[in-house]
Amino acid sequence: MNVLVTGGAGYIGTHVAVELSNAGHGVVLLDSLANSHAEAVRRVERVTGREVAFHTADCTDPVAVDRVFTKHTVDAVVHCAGLKAVGESTEQPVRYYRTNLNAVLTLCEVMHAHGVGAMVFSSSATVYGDPETVPITEDMPLAVANPYGATKLFAEQVLADTTAATSGWSVIALRYFNPIGAHPSGLIGEDPHGVPNNLFPYISQVAAGKRDKLSVFGDDYDTPDGTGVRDYLHIVDLARAHVAAVEHLADASGYRAYNIGTGTGVSVLESIRAFERASGRRVPYEVTARRPGDIATCYADPSAAERDLGWRAELSVEQACADAWRWQSANPNGFAGG
């Protein structure tokens, strides 16, 4: 299949492009470079050994998106493009709603105009808000926790309604839990701008000596060691879920959502220890106040994805730490280092 990956220069999009290409699919990447570098695309080419078609374009611009669909045969879209920082979304809600919702609306219209009805959408476990029980199954209540989460929930609704209204459409929303790590080649990985928001990029920068210490946001949660528990999955496993979903689209119709996680919860303190083992470096930390909006525990029941898509996570948190450390050590300045 020929697959258009929006947000294809980003953390998830680059890894998806590599796994799609490894599985024999053609890939076309589209990205505004709002939160990424063109160098990331060159790295995808190095990892795969193949040239990759890349378009610098904004997903909210119908003319630019239409141009890409006119130039290439597109059988399916993996829609990763969007803004993703939860804190920023509470400060700039209009920018988040405009970007993330206009992107999905524009894509739906352009896909419709070109007779393309297959999409895999980057959703998030954030759509469950603060779940009443864990592990989380797809039928549990959905809740808006912040503007970013709302954009994911609304985008899912747009896609479910569009799929119901359009014969032949097939859309899968993948609700990612916490992707971590990097490609084992050390050539692509997460490249946060400024101070990392997420745990593993922060730990990685502390291990590298770029930051003094990690703040552990609270150790008084109702969890085994008091720190937050999450379902961290290796980025390569996550990318492979997209390959499974894209291949499933061909024989399916309608709209479905799947949890993409390991099914296992890991605490902040366990994460620090795993990274220390993988890197051989110390990760100094201090316990600080809880971060507003954080929840105690969140992990997936990923059995629906295994049943329907034949996908499950295979790689460990230790492997993800080792790969993150390889990426961090080889690219101390991320893609900007060249």
The closest alpha carbon to 48, from 11, 73, 19, belongs to 19
- Region class of 198: left (phi > 0), else alpha (psi between -120 and 50), else beta: beta
| CA gap 22, 25 in Å, rounded | 7
Contacts for 105-109 with beta carbons within 8 Å, 24 or more apart?
105/158, 106/59, 106/60, 106/61, 106/62, 106/65, 107/6, 107/59, 107/65, 107/77, 107/79, 108/158, 108/159, 108/162, 109/62
Return the amino acid letter for 302. Answer: P
In angstroms, give the least distance from the CB of 210 to ligand WQD.
Answer: 13
Do residues 145 and 129 touch, judged by C-beta distance below 8 A? yes
Stretch 269-308: interaction string toward ligand NAD, x if CB under 6 A? ----------------------------------------
Which residue in 96, 148, 221, 299 is the catalytic one?
A: 148
Q: Which of residues 68-87 bind ligand WQD (CB under 6 A)?
A: 84, 86
Is 9 a binding residue for ligand NAD by CB under 6 A? The answer is yes
In angstroms, give the least distance from the CB of 280 to ligand NAD.
Answer: 26
Do residues 276 and 283 touch, judged by C-beta distance below 8 A? yes
Stretch 252-271: interaction string toward ligand NAD, x if CB under 6 A? --------------------
Tokens of 14: 């680059």
Stretch 145-184: interaction string toward ligand WQD, x if CB under 6 A? ---------------------------------x------
Residue choice 80, 199, 278, 324 for contact with ligand WQD (CB under 6 A): 199
Do residues 197 and 269 touch, judged by C-beta distance below 8 A? no
Is 96 a binding residue for ligand WQD by CB under 6 A? The answer is no
The closest alpha carbon to 250, from 329, 327, 309, belongs to 309
In angstroms, give the least distance from the CB of 30 to ligand WQD.
Answer: 20
Closest CB to ligand WQD among 60 and 89? 89
Q: Which of residues 144-163 bind ligand NAD (CB under 6 A)?
A: none
Is 82 a binding residue for ligand NAD by CB under 6 A? The answer is yes
Q: Catalytic residue at 96? A: no
Closest CB to ligand WQD among 102 and 197? 197
Radius of gyration of the chain (CA): 19
| CA gap 48, 239 in Å, rounded | 14
H/E stretch holding 276 reads helix 268-279
Is 170 a binding residue for ligand NAD by CB under 6 A? The answer is no
| CA gap 221, 229 in Å, rounded | 9
Is 36 a binding residue for ligand NAD by CB under 6 A? The answer is yes
Q: Which residues bind ligand WQD (CB under 6 A)?
A: 84, 86, 124, 126, 178, 197-199, 202, 214-217, 228, 230, 268, 291, 294
Q: Which residues bind ligand NAD (CB under 6 A)?
A: 6-7, 9-13, 31-36, 58-60, 80-84, 99, 103, 122, 124, 176, 178-179
Active-site amino acid positions: 148
